[in-house]
C-alpha cells in the first residue's frame, strides 16, 4: 500500500508553539502509513528546535526566503510540491500566503491550515484576504488549536465555514521527571516560573509589579523568566529599579525546559492575549499549578480552582493575590499540581494530537476519492 505523503510548511523553526507542534508531529507520525516532509521558508538560525531536527534526522528542508514579501518563495514551494507530489499539504502561521497558489496549480488533494493564534491578530489585512480566499474558495480546511479560536475563525471568515478543532499536544513523558540537577534553586525557596518571549502581549511588566508585592511579604519567593526578546532590557531595568536583582533570574532561551519546570513550584502566564499556549500544557504535565490570565483558550486548559487559578488580564492585585495564595499553601500547590498533571496527560498528550491529525488526513483524502469516483 502506498504511503500517504504529507507536506508541512512553516515560516521557520523558531521557539514558538507552532514550531514545537510540528517537530513533535514529524517525530511521532505513523511512518508505516504516512511519509512526512517539512519545509521551513527561512534558512536555519541555529535555534534549539533546529538542533533537535538535526539530531533526530527529521525530514526538513530549509528554503532561503528573504525578509518581507518574496515571490521567489512561491516558486520554490511550487517546485517542491511538483517533485514531492503530496497528498496533503499542511501549513502553519503565515506560510499559507506563499502556499495557496502552488497548491491550486498542482491540484493538491487535501489542504489544511492550522490556526495557532487569535485570527484577528494572526495575519495583517492582506493576509486575511488571502486566508479568506483560501478557506472559502481554495478548499483549505482551517484547524484551530482551541474552541474559542474556532469560533473566531468562523466569525471572521464565515459562519458557515467548515472547520475543525484539534488541541495542541505536548510530549508529556518528557515532563514527568524530577530534575537531573538544580543549578538555580535555593533550599526552602518558592520558585515562580514564566516562559515566554519578551514581547508586549506577554505583559512582563504586570508580572514584575505583582511579584514585587509578593516578595515583600514572602522574601523566600523567587521569579524565573525564561525567554528573550525586544522588551527584555526594559524589564531588566524595571527589576533593578524595584531592587529585585537577587530575586528575579533571567534565564534566556533554554533547551532544557523539562528540567527548569521540574525545579519550579508555580507556573505563571499573565498575557493580554493568547490562543492555546503550549507552555501551560508543559507546566501542567510537570505537575505545576498554573496561574494565568483568563484569555483565549487558556480556560480550556486550566480549570480554575482545580488545576490552577485564573485571573482577569491587566489586574496586578488579582495576580498578586493568586501568587500569594499558592506561595503560602504548599498543600494546595501539590493538589492542584497533581490535578494539572492528570489533565495534561489525559487530554493534551502529543500522541492524541498526532492521531487526530492522522485521522483528519485519511478522512479528507477519502472524501476526495469518493467525490472523484462519483464524478
Q: CATH code at 194?
A: 3.40.50.2000
Q: What is the pLDDT of residues 314-323, one digit of tens each?
A: 999 999 999 9
Question: 188: pLDDT confidence band, cut at 50, 70 and 90?
Answer: confident
- Burial pattern 154-166, b for ≥16 Cβ within 10 A else e, equals bebbeeebebbbb
Compute the C-alpha angle 36/39/40, nearest 5°. Answer: 140
Question: 2: pLDDT confidence band, cut at 50, 70 and 90?
Answer: very high
Q: In this structure, are 59 and 142 located in the same domain?
A: yes
Q: What is the pLDDT of residues 278-308, one digit of tens each?
A: 999 999 999 999 999 999 999 999 999 999 9
Is residue 162 left, alpha or beta, with left meaning phi > 0 and alpha meaning psi from -120 to 50?
A: beta
- Residue 134 CA to residue 113 CA, distance in Å, equals 9
Concatenating the DSSP letter of every residue in 183-222 gives: SSPPTT-EEEEEES-SSGGG-HHHHHHHHHHHHHH-TTEE
Residue range 191-213: average pLDDT?
Answer: 97
Q: In this structure, are 47 and 150 located in the same domain?
A: yes
CB of 226 within 8 A of CB of 254? Answer: yes
- Structural domains counted in the chain: 2
Kindly tell me if the per-residue pLDDT of 16 is higher than 90.
no
Residue range 80-98: average pLDDT?
Answer: 97
Q: In this structure, are 36 and 64 located in the same domain?
A: yes
Which residue has cell 519545509? Answer: 39
- Burial pattern 198-210, b for ≥16 Cβ within 10 A else e, equals beeebbbbbbbbb
Q: In this structure, are 188 and 238 located in the same domain?
A: yes
Q: In this structure, are 285 and 335 located in the same domain?
A: yes
Predicted pLDDT at 180? 46
Q: In this structure, are 135 and 35 located in the same domain?
A: yes
Question: 184: pLDDT confidence band, cut at 50, 70 and 90?
Answer: low
pLDDT higher for 182 or 89?
89
Please state the separation of Cα 330 from the chain's center in Å. 29
Q: What is the pTM of this model?
A: 0.88
Q: In this structure, are 251 and 338 located in the same domain?
A: yes
| Nine-digit cell string for 182 | 538544580
Question: 182: pLDDT confidence band, cut at 50, 70 and 90?
Answer: low
- Residue 101 CA to residue 77 CA, distance in Å, equals 9
Which residue has cell 508586549? Answer: 200
- Residue 106 CA to residue 265 CA, distance in Å, equals 51
Domain assignment of residue 101, given as a range: 4-169+349-374
CA distances to 21, 94, 264, 287, 337 from 340, in Å: 20, 32, 14, 6, 5
Q: In this structure, are 199 and 130 located in the same domain?
A: no
Q: In this structure, are 157 and 44 located in the same domain?
A: yes
Q: In this structure, are 22 and 124 located in the same domain?
A: yes
Q: In this structure, are 71 and 152 located in the same domain?
A: yes
Kindly tell me if the per-residue pLDDT of 325 is higher than 70.
yes
- Residue 375 CA to residue 364 CA, distance in Å, equals 17
Q: In this structure, are 111 and 125 located in the same domain?
A: yes
The torsion angle over the Cα atoms of residues 340, 344, 345 and 347, rounded to 10 degrees, is: 130
Amino acid at each position: 500500500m502506498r504511503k500517504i505523503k504529507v507536506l508541512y510548511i512553516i515560516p521557520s523553526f523558531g521557539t514558538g508553539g507552532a514550531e514545537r507542534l510540528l517537530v513533535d508531529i514529524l517525530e511521532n507520525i505513523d511512518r508505516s502509513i504516512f511519509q512526512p516532509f517539512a519545509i521551513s521558508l527561512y534558512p536555519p538560525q541555529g535555534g534549539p528546535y533546529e538542533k533537535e531536527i538535526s539530531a533526530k534526522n527529521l525530514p526538513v528542508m530549509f528554503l532561503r526566503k528573504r525578509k518581507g514579501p518574496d515571490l521567489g518563495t512561491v516558486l520554490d514551494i511550487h517546485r517542491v510540491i511538483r517533485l514531492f507530489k503530496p497528498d496533503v499539504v499542511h501549513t502553519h502561521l503565515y506560510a499559507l500566503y506563499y502556499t495557496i497558489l502552488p497548491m491550486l496549480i498542482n491540484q493538491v488533494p487535501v489542504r489544511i491550515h492550522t490556526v495557532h493564534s487569535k485570527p484577528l491578530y494572526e495575519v495583517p489585512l492582506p493576509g486575511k484576504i488571502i486566508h479568506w480566499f483560501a478557506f472559502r474558495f481554495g478548499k483549505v480546511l482551517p484547524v484551530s488549536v482551541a474552541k474559542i479560536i474556532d469560533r473566531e475563525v468562523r466569525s471572521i471568515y464565515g459562519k458557515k465555514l467548515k472547520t475543525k478543532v484539534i488541541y495542541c499536544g505536548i510530549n508529556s513523558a518528557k515532563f514527568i521527571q524530577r530534575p537531573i540537577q538544580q543549578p538555580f534553586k535555593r533550599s526552602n525557596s518558592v520558585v515562580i516560573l514564566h516562559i515566554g518571549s519578551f514581547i508586549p502581549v506577554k505583559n512582563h511588566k504586570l508580572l514584575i509589579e505583582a511579584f514585587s508585592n509578593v516578595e515583600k511579604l514572602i522574601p523566600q519567593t523567587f521569579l524565573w523568566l525564561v525567554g528573550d526578546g525586544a522588551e527584555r532590557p526594559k524589564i531588566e531595568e524595571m527589576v533593578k529599579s524595584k531592587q529585585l536583582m537577587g530575586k528575579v533570574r533571567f534565564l534566556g532561551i533554554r533547551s532544557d525546559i523539562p528540567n527548569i519546570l521540574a525545579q519550579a513550584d508555580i507556573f505563571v502566564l499573565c498575557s493580554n492575549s493568547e490562543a492555546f499556549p503550549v507552555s501551560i500544557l508543559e507546566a501542567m504535565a510537570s505537575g505545576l499549578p498554573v496561574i494565568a490570565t483568563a484569555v483565549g483558550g487558556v480556560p480550556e486548559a486550566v480549570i480554575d480552582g482545580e488545576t490552577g487559578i485564573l485571573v482577569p488580564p491587566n489586574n496586578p492585585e488579582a495576580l498578586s493575590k493568586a501568587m500569594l495564595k499558592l506561595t503560602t499553601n504548599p498543600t494546595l500547590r501539590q493538589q492542584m499540581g497533581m490535578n494539572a498533571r492528570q489533565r495534561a496527560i489525559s487530554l493534551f498528550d502529543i500522541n492524541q494530537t498526532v492521531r487526530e491529525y492522522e485521522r483528519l488526513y485519511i478522512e479528507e483524502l477519502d472524501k476526495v476519492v469518493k467525490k472523484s469516483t462519483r464524478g
